[in-house]
Amino acid sequence: MSGEGRPGYNRRSVLKSSLAVLAGSALGRTAQAAEPEIRNVNPASSPSALKITDMRFAVVVKPGPSPCVLIRIDTNQGVYGLGEVRDIAGPQYAMVLKSRIVGENPLNIDYLFQKIAQFGGNARQAGGVCAVEMALWDIAGKVYNIPVYQMLGGKWRDSIRIYADTTESQDPKEYGRRAKERKAMGLTWMKMDLGIDVLDGIPGTVMRPAGLDKWELHDQPNPFIATEVTDKGIDRLCEYVAAVRENIGYDMPLSMDHLGHIGVKSVIRLGKAYEKFNLEWMEDVIPWYYTDLLKEIREASPTPILTGEDIYQFSDFETLCKEHAVDKIHPDLATSGGILQTHHIGDMAFRYGVPMAMHFAGTPVGCMACVHCAAATRNFLALENHSLDVTFWQELVTGIEKPIIDRGFIKVPDSSGLGVMLNDDEVKRHLKPGTGYFEPTPMWDEPQSWDDALFS
């Protein structure tokens, strides 16, 4: 391949560099300083001529939220990028984008994101768009030989604080014991899942009309299922929080998730009952799009609230922050538009005085996308991890210091791109049964709908 035409590389510059080296050895440092070496440009790449040639996927199964879809975007210069679809979303969310990106220069990240953004939606529906965006950053980092965080403006921190929950138990004492174990692992921030499901079978704790079907219980928003927790129920829930606090003390931030689908007034009463436990936040207490109801809860509850893991649009985060409807936001980068959008969301929230924690439940590939974004975003607090008990989790990748999570922190890598490569053998051991390892995907070569144009 000819080097002519590449930035920072032509025959004349090579000749000049060679002369400079010769001169430098003869004349000393002064001559060398006059002809500085060209650094940080990978001579094996030719950015302007880079083209996407293919996109393939592999589906990993692991304990906790799973399956997790990894994607690989290939180029005409052998450089490839890795990305990850939001946990539990299928590969189709990414693959429908293949025909929209093949032939494009992967370094035009914002252009490509805007081109495919219309195919993303809330929660898991954004998984494909975000996976592609992560993979483009991985390619860009490899081509220019710099870590992703550097392309976002540099880092605010060298290591990323991790927070995690424990497995659940019906026994408050056991809950407390598991929390203590987490603290012993070195975590500096914890979360507990505690909802009205632990009150199942205890009479007089939850008021709810009998006979609600599965769809109503899972998909009907809180205000429409008339479910409230009683004083007896609240007392029982407090026993769990007290047990956890007894075991981890009051110096460590403790957050709470999965309260169950209860009414606004019940959330407020719980927020008041939990005040003495000094919780860092109660999460996703009602669906995120009820801005006014969130505001009502925030104003009445002394326990802070947070939401965001299902939000795709920047403007929806902006509404929550501008209205101060929540105390903190909690995007999942695999839903909130990927690395650059989530960085922008953080910067926007900073201007309103709103901090940003980050939701995450996938493999180390998606985790590293979060790590680079968190490193480069000022108002970041802590990044979630659901795999502290999954021994093979960190073995899925190579090229990074192990343990990846060390005493509750992940060191921000300085290698190029996302900073991880796949451990092929380990990933193959955990493929979803019946699926292959980055097999050809010709069925996605052509668009199957004429749906790019949103206006005529």
Cβ proximity to Mg ion: between 56 and 298 the closer is 298
Name the minimum Å distance from CB 301 to Mg ion.
18
Cβ proximity to Mg ion: between 149 and 380 the closer is 380
# chain residues binding Mg ion, by CB under 5 A = 2
Query: Which residues does residue 191 pair with via DSSP β-bridges, in sequence order?
Result: 255
Name the minimum Å distance from CB 132 to Mg ion.
24
- Phi first, then psi: give them for residue 58, nearest 5 degrees: -140, 140
Name the minimum Å distance from CB 359 to Mg ion.
6
Question: Is there binding between residue 193 and Mg ion (CB under 5 A)?
Answer: no
The whole-angstrom separation of Cα 395 and Cα 414 is 19
Name the minimum Å distance from CB 212 to Mg ion.
22
Cβ proximity to Mg ion: between 257 and 327 the closer is 257
Amino acid at 396: L
Name the minimum Å distance from CB 257 to Mg ion.
4
The whole-angstrom separation of Cα 195 and Cα 297 is 17
The whole-angstrom separation of Cα 6 and Cα 2 is 9
Cβ proximity to Mg ion: between 112 and 311 the closer is 311
Cβ proximity to Mg ion: between 144 and 360 the closer is 360
Q: Which residue is nearest to Mg ion (CB)?
A: 257
Q: Scan for tokens 């709103």, then name that residue.
A: 354
Omega before 36 cis (within 30°)? no
Cβ proximity to Mg ion: between 87 and 138 the closer is 87
The whole-angstrom separation of Cα 343 and Cα 208 is 41
Cβ proximity to Mg ion: between 136 and 305 the closer is 305
The whole-angstrom separation of Cα 120 and Cα 168 is 32
> Residues near 194 by Cβ (< 8 Å), separated by ≥ 6?
168, 237, 240, 241, 256, 257, 258, 259
Interface map 262-301 toward Mg ion (x if CB under 5 A): ---------------------x------------------
Name the minimum Å distance from CB 330 to Mg ion.
7
Three-state helix/strand/coil letters over 380-428: EEEEECCCCCCCCHHHHEECCCCCCEECCEEECCCCCECCCEECHHHHH
- Binding Mg ion (rule: CB under 5 A), the pick from 138, 257, 310, 316 is 257
Name the minimum Å distance from CB 258 to Mg ion.
7
Q: Name the segment binding Mg ion (CB under 5 A); options: 30-38, 190-198, 251-259, 290-298.
A: 251-259
- In the complex, the residues that contact Mg ion under the rule CB under 5 A are 257, 283
